[in-house]
Chain A
Amino acid sequence: MSVTIQIPSALRAFTERKSEIAVEAKTVGEAITALTNLYPDIRPHLFEEEGKLRSFINVYVAGKNVRNAGGVEAAIPDGETLTLVPAIAGGAPLGVRL
């Protein structure tokens, strides 16, 4: 089944600047695996070294976050869009006050 993956601007450096990639997949996990097979350099930015999806990378299917709705096992209807969405975090260093 054909799935369109929308790539955030930060990760397009690894997808030949393409903002959308079409893959064949039935689940979120299959879609992301297909993406990383096509573009291996994107993998370290999506997965931790142990192979777990980075905590700040979210996957939306049909506009809904699948983190608590099946995760990588979530099914993707044919023709649907999957969007990779990072949550952004940061902050001041500890103990380096001015």
Chain B
Amino acid sequence: MIRLPRKLDAAIRAEGEKTYPNECCGVLLGQIDDENVREVDEILPIDNARDDGEQYHRFRIEADDFMRAEQLARQKGRDVLGFYHSHPDHPAEPSEYDREYALPFYAYIIVAVEKGRAAKLTSWELKLDRSRFETEPIEPIE
């Protein structure tokens, strides 16, 4: 399960609308407890590193950006909990491409953006054997 403050839920949706018809992306920072419950307390929007012509259906967070996010998380006593991205005019479900490039543990939040308006927002985790994503509940918190 992942706990997501309402203001960050709104911020992710706003990012998706701002970058529409392209995909937005960013990093989720926060803490994880002994029962594997993740609580997000900060998001870091990242410039989509894909070429302009690819951004409508692809995103990439470069290693240098990830390195900076990891260092920031360590400085703050936090962990990188996962990532968010948008699916413009597509369902909030991971694609096969998402699975190929995913790692376990991380939460993958996807927000569908329909004709410029943010719609369903979901969170997913890759199984340890990399075979598929499983959806995970999102608990809204203040």
Which residues of A line the B interface, CB within 8 A? 8-13, 44-45, 56, 58, 60, 63, 65, 83, 85-94, 96-98
A8-B80, A44-B130 are known contacts. Are A92 and B88 too (CB-CB below 8 A)?
yes
A9 near B80 (CB under 8 angstroms)? Answer: yes
A10-B106, A93-B96 are known contacts. Are A88 and B130 too (CB-CB below 8 A)?
no
A87-B60, A88-B66 are known contacts. Are A97 and B95 too (CB-CB below 8 A)?
no
Chain B residue nearest to A60 (CB atoms) is: B67
- Give a binary string over B58-78; 1 marks a CB under 8 Å from any A CB, 0 the rest: 111111101100100000000
B101 near A88 (CB under 8 angstroms)? Answer: yes
Q: For the complex, what is the distance from the CA of A97 to the CA of B114, rounded to whole Å?
A: 10
Q: In the complex, which residues of chain A have a beta carbon less than 8 angstroms from the beta carbon of B114?
A: 98
A98 near B128 (CB under 8 angstroms)? Answer: no
Q: In the complex, which residues of chain A have a beta carbon less than 8 angstroms from the beta carbon of B98?
A: 90-91
Q: In the complex, which residues of chain A have a beta carbon less than 8 angstroms from the beta carbon of B66?
A: 85-88
Number of A-B contacts (CB under 8 A): 103
Within 8 A of A (CB), among B73-129: 79-81, 83, 85, 87-91, 93-98, 101-106, 108, 112, 114, 128
A13 near B106 (CB under 8 angstroms)? Answer: no
Q: For the complex, what is the distance from the CA of A10 to the CA of B83, rounded to whole Å?
A: 12
Chain B residue nearest to A83 (CB atoms) is: B67
Q: For the complex, what is the distance from the CA of A33 to the CA of B85, rounded to whole Å?
A: 33
B58 near A12 (CB under 8 angstroms)? Answer: no
A10 near B112 (CB under 8 angstroms)? Answer: no
B112 near A98 (CB under 8 angstroms)? Answer: yes
> What 18 additional pairs, Cβ within 8 angstroms, besides A87-B60, A91-B58, A93-B97?
A8-B80, A9-B80, A9-B81, A9-B106, A10-B103, A13-B104, A45-B103, A45-B130, A58-B63, A85-B70, A90-B58, A90-B102, A91-B57, A91-B59, A91-B97, A92-B58, A92-B89, A96-B91
